[in-house]
Chain A
């Protein structure tokens, strides 16, 4: 290749070409040097620079300065060029992919932590709650806590209890029906915030048939309806209303004895 074939950019860069070819820390300069290394123009420049450097090297440095450290001591070692890695498209693409995978993983983990036995049934009942009218239920006006006996006496439903947190609320109506899976579900309509209660069998373990237990209150939401679920004695209780978790939180934040 002749000097005339070099681009203008290469010719500009080559003026800064390192003398010994060691200190090339710039990709574009390195590429320009590689392209020009066989041209006569570059060879003349390199010989010129080598001669000048050799002359500089002969400058006597005072003894007391030599007794100090080597030149390298005054040039701190370079820090990790993480910016250069960050600018590399391959690293950038990999980084973005790992970041997205990590976010998906975190969402999956959070979702899994929030799952509880009986959640599919709870979601299905939220749909039922959204389409139920008060007139569909038998009128029952009493304290919600008193419904346990009513459900046992009239429908033979054992442990269909309203937790103490919701026991004081006044009811408007009640009904018992079989859901899609043939489970007996008790539905109660209360005055407070047009809330509805559902009591249904807890999800059974497929191997043993025993009800799966979980502790505390678990939230579930669907189509602007929110529910809070608790399991006790193999029966799940869900309080549902149109709204969000924060509308239900005051009821379950302070457990009543």
Chain B
């Protein structure tokens, strides 16, 4: 979400502290995804304070058979930066989806999106990422 390990760690701790405070006050959250929901909003808040990505329309490319070999060449930080540059809620959708920890219904709940919206954001995200991959690692280099 932030592509910044230090900020992410601060948010992790802040979320933990909030959870502990609520538990001490006897108001432990009943929402089973509270931790991630809270962290998400903190990330979005933190993201608004730093440099903002420009609003540009990414090119889209059809998913290619060779995409896995392109992705293998990436550093994880590059992928994180690419996702963090996406506008929300696409950023949230892609982050949570590729964490591969959540079910479909969990994703809908966390992103607060309707099924067609989530589907569109993920589908577009893939194609935009493919276009970026094609630009970064042209097919001739594979």
A and B from one assembly? Answer: yes
Is A253 an interface position by the 8 A CB rule?
A: no
Q: Which of A62-111 contact B (CB under 8 A)?
A: 62, 65, 68, 71, 74-79
Is B126 an interface position by the 8 A CB rule?
A: yes
Q: Which A residues touch B77, using CB under 8 A?
A: 59
Q: Closest CB of chain A to B137's CB: distance in Å?
A: 13
Q: Max chain A CB contacts within 10 Å: which of B33, B65, B104, B106?
A: B104
Is A141 an interface position by the 8 A CB rule?
A: no
Which of A12, A18, A52, A79 sits near B116, CB closer than 8 Å? Answer: A12
Is B2 an interface position by the 8 A CB rule?
A: no
Which of B5, B35, B71, B115 sits near A51, CB closer than 8 Å? Answer: B71
Binds B, one of A21-29, A125-133, A243-251: A21-29
User: Interface on chain B toward A: helix, strand, loop, or mixed SS?
Assistant: helix
Q: Is the beta-carbon distance between A25 and B103 smaller than 8 angstroms?
A: yes
Q: From known contacts A12-B115, A26-B105, A48-B126, infer whether A55 and B74 are also in contact, taking CB-CB under 8 Å.
A: yes
Q: Is the beta-carbon distance between B5 and A77 smaller than 8 angstroms?
A: no
The chain B residue with its CB closest to the CB of A43 is B65
Q: Is the beta-carbon distance between A23 and B115 smaller than 8 angstroms?
A: no
Q: Is the beta-carbon distance between A15 and B119 smaller than 8 angstroms?
A: yes
Q: Which B residues touch A24, using CB under 8 A?
A: 103-104
Is A44 an interface position by the 8 A CB rule?
A: yes
Q: Is the beta-carbon distance between A52 and B103 smaller than 8 angstroms?
A: no
Binds A, one of B44-52, B84-92, B94-102: B94-102
Total A residues in contact with B, Cβ cutoff 8 Å? 36
Is B72 an interface position by the 8 A CB rule?
A: yes
Which of A29, A47, A52, A55 sits near B104, CB closer than 8 Å? Answer: A29
Q: From known contacts A24-B103, A47-B68, A52-B71, infer whether A58 and B76 are also in contact, taking CB-CB under 8 Å.
A: yes
5 residue pairs of the A-B complex, CB under 8 angstroms, read A15-B120, A15-B126, A53-B100, A75-B32, A75-B36
Using CB atoms and an 8 Å cutoff, list the residues of chain A in contact with chain B: 12-13, 15-16, 18-20, 23-26, 29, 44-45, 47-56, 58-59, 62, 65, 68, 71, 74-79
User: Considering the complex of A and B, which 9 residue pairs feature the smallest CB-CB distances, nearest first?
Assistant: A76-B32, A51-B68, A23-B103, A15-B123, A51-B71, A15-B119, A74-B35, A25-B103, A59-B76
With A16-B104, A25-B106, A51-B67 known, 16 other A-B pairs at CB within 8 A are A13-B115, A15-B122, A15-B126, A16-B107, A16-B115, A18-B100, A20-B100, A25-B103, A47-B67, A48-B67, A52-B98, A54-B71, A65-B12, A75-B33, A76-B34, A77-B32
